[in-house]
Amino acid sequence: MNQFHTLASLINKRLLYITVISAFLASLLSAAYTLVEFNHAIKPELLKKANAIGQLIHDDVELAIDAGVPFRQVRGMDTYLNDILNQYPELTFIALTNQGDIIHHAGLIADFDPTSPPLSRQSATDYLASSLLERLSVMLVELPQMVSLLFSQESPPSDLFQLPIHLTDDERAFVVVALNASYVQSQLTDIFFDIAIVLIAVLLVCFEVVMVVVMFYVSGPLEESESILKRQVKGDFSVNENVTRQGVIGRFSQRLNQDSKDLQSRFKSLFAQLISSPSRSKDASEVDLKAQVESLSNRFQLQRRFGSDQGSIVDARIPLFVFSFAEELSKSFMPLFVNELYHPSFGIDRDVMLGLPISVFMLVIAISTPFAARWVDRWGQKKLFLIGLAPAIVGYLGCAFASTSLEVVIARGVTALGYAVITISCQSYIAAVVTSQNRAKGMAVFVGVLMTATMCGTALGAIIADRIGYQPVFLLSALLAVFAGVLAWRMFLSQPKKTVASVHGEHKSNVFLLLKNVRFMAIVLLCAIPAKIVLTGFLYFLVPLYLVSLDASQSEVGRIMMVYSLVIIPLSPLASGIADRTQKTNQLIVLGTLLSGAILISLYGEASLYKVLLAVALMGVAHAILKAPLIACALEAAEHSPEVGRTEVLGFLRTAERIGSVVGPLLVAALIAKYSFGLAMSVVGVGIFICGLLICVILNQVKTLTPEEGTL
């Protein structure tokens, strides 16, 4: 029977590899084609713009000449040309020439070469009019050149566009507009990185979808088939009332289960005939026959039926991913969006208002999470997921149609209520369908889905906002939330199997005893809360503002913020493995805290986009080291307080982390109201570094209890 397990594993891997590789190759080909198309299509558009600008200058100059002003004596022309040049970054030089001499100009005169031929759009037009096969052949030839252009440090020469001005029969004058070829290069670079981000997101989404489809149609049915065959080989013909019917393998499982049903029906019919047969005498033989039949029934399980709505982790995976993806779309630009709508009100400073939506969002989650946990028991996971969609969608629509920053704050608070309810319902659903043997794996799936959605949503949300604006992104989030609700309605079971009764029902532990636990409180106050302050204050709040102050585009903001999740996803499992093998959880959380503080301190000094990028990447490393052992270390420290249950310990820890999430944006906002970005983060970094030193001292000095002295 191990062949079934091997077969399922083989099918899973092959389907996953084939799908991901196919998606990667298709996306790569699409990316290359898009780059070449963009490179050829942008030239005609730039020509149109240059022609329009040149025509505008031409008409104004001819108007002055018609009024009797000599061409060489038009006053204020240099200022006029400078104003036009500053409006259009795609232009590098504007000049008025006469007989080859420059009369008036704006921009770098070195960029002008009067002997350069004017730009022609014929090559681009011919390319766009060619067949698809010809364009693909051009793509293969030009792609290596374009890749070298993307990463070239040299500025390509400017292209010239000339428009004649009629003076006299003997004089020739021109309006010369120089198109900045570096602008085309920068646009190609932006498109290249946007496509790369989309490629990564597509692969991650593809992985999630393939995982669900394979588990739904292949792995699950194969495991059921294996389970049925194992029972039947052992002579167990019990019937499972809830066999999956998805796909060919599911129908095979149903057929196997139906054989057991048919056998049980025949046995029941035969047993009824033997008992009701009038030819038999009512004596001891009847008792013997019943005993033999009962023995036969027990031996082969011919009257046993079992099965309840077991559910699977797969049921919650895709709905949770879609909803989390919808929520993360706005993460990269929330402070920028609030800044755009800010008007002084209620005496709230601008910098404080920029961090208020994130803090209110986290505060509402912290307050509503305990209530959401109780609502799960009352209404069930499926119904609660659908109920949570209402405030989430209302909040997205509120942001989409908001006209003031205060309306955004209120809308984010409403969305937070839905987010808390939905995430708790998904977490509870996963906890309900897993067993004690794979509970850790189930929770790892929950965290992994959230991290994947964070990475994809943050980057793609920035790209979308850069193209269509901030508020339409919230409409997209609302649509995705509706789609997540449809998926949950179809995939969630109405009532999965019950979990073990909560410890709250058996006895009431005093959570306040944890306040006396020096080691546990040190971990919470000096590690868990500072980590969340860094996450929300630095990554979610300061990084977008800092990057925009460095003239980064919205797409660049999203790409840089994405690096944090991109680093954590592969490194977090490695850190977990190291923590399990070495049991050095104390040293790891100290290292992660000290590293976080040092990274923030390094931001002091000269501002640089690459410095912020490096800080975000290193912060991902620090938090990957920190996240894995933090819970294990907190649970170990809680053994000092054996009266407090494990569930209560985790609840206390999670609530404390939410406090850090609320404090982070407000603290950073208060600092940047007085100091520069780099200095503000250095102040926070010094505080985090001191926390790391303190927790190192405390963990080394406080002795731990042995399992015999105090266990949970």
Q: What CA–CA distance (Å, rounded) separates 351 from 549? A: 14
Would you say the pTM of this structure is higher than 0.75? no
Q: 161 phi and psi, to 5 degrees?
A: -130, 130
pLDDT digits (tens, 9 = 90+) for 204-224: 777 777 777 777 777 667 777
Least confident of 241-255, 263-277, 278-292: 278-292
Q: Is residue 646 over pLDDT 70?
A: no
Range of 121-125, 150-154, 324-328, 604-608 with top mean pLDDT: 324-328
The confidence score (pLDDT) of residue 415 equals: 94
- Phi and psi at 106, nearest 5°, equal -145, 140
What's the CATH superfamily of 516-706? MFS general substrate transporter like domains (1.20.1250.20)
> Phi and psi at residue 60, in whole multiples of 5°?
-65, -40
Q: How far apart are CA 420 and CA 399, in angstroms?
A: 18
pLDDT value, residue 705: 43
Q: Is 346 left (phi over 0), alpha (psi -120 to 50) or beta?
A: left
Third-level CATH fold of 313-498: Growth Hormone; Chain: A; (1.20.1250)
Contacts of 14 (CB under 8 A, 6+ apart): none
pLDDT bucket at 502, cuts 50 / 70 / 90: very low
Q: Which residue has the higher pLDDT, 108 or 605?
A: 605
Domain 7-195 and domain 313-498 have a common topology: no
Given a cut of 60, whether residue 158 has pLDDT beyond it is no
Residue 278's pLDDT is what?
57
pLDDT of residue 150: 54
Q: Give me 480's structure tokens.
A: 């995705």
For residue 120, pLDDT over 50 is answered with no
Q: What's the rounded Cα separation, in Å, for the pair 192 and 35?
A: 7
Give the residue-averaged pLDDT of 99-113. 69
Length of the chain: 712
How far CA 331 is from CA of 403, 561, 659, 687, in Å, comes to 19, 9, 19, 25
The one-letter code for the residue type at 697 is: V
146-160, 232-246, 521-535 — which is least confidently predicted? 146-160
- The pLDDT value recorded for residue 149 is 55
Task: Say which residue, 463 or 407, is predicted with more confidence.
Answer: 407
Closest to 503 (Cα-Cα) out of 640, 645, 691, 335: 645
Most confident of 146-150, 390-394, 463-467: 390-394
Q: For residues 278 and 611, which has the higher predicted lDDT (pLDDT)?
A: 611
Which helix (H) or strand (E) segment holds residue 355: the answer is: helix 350-379
471 compared with 71, residue with greater pLDDT: 471
**What b-and-e string marks burial along 338-347, b requiring 16 or more CB atoms within 10 Å of the CB?**
bbebbeeeee
* pLDDT score of 503: 35
Kindly state the average pLDDT of the residues 550-571: 81
Token pair for 581? 């093998």
| Domain positions in the chain | 7-195, 235-273+289-308, 313-498, 516-706
Whether 40 has a pLDDT exceeding 50, the answer reads: yes
- What are the residues facing 306 on neighbouring strands? 240
Q: What is the pLDDT of residue 119?
A: 47
pLDDT (mean) for 262-282: 67
Average pLDDT, the chain: 76
d(CA 102, CA 602) in angstroms, rounded, equals 49
Q: Sheet containing 91-98: give its strands across.
A: 101-107, 91-98, 172-179, 159-166
What amino acid occupies position 295? S
Strands 305-306 and 172-179: what pairing? unpaired
> 244 phi and psi, to 5 degrees?
-65, 150
In 557-603, DSSP assigns E strands to none
Q: Is the pLDDT of residue 132 over 60?
A: no
Pick the CATH number of 7-195 from 3.30.450, 2.30.29, 3.90.660, 3.30.160: 3.30.450
Position 279 scores a pLDDT of 52
Please state, in angstroms and rounded to a whole number, the distance separating the CA atoms of residues 433 and 286: 45
Q: State yes or no: pLDDT of 124 exceeds 70.
A: no
Taking 50 as the threshold, does the pLDDT of residue 505 lie above it?
no
Tell me how far apart the alpha carbons of residues 112 and 540 are, in angstroms, rounded to a whole number. Answer: 45
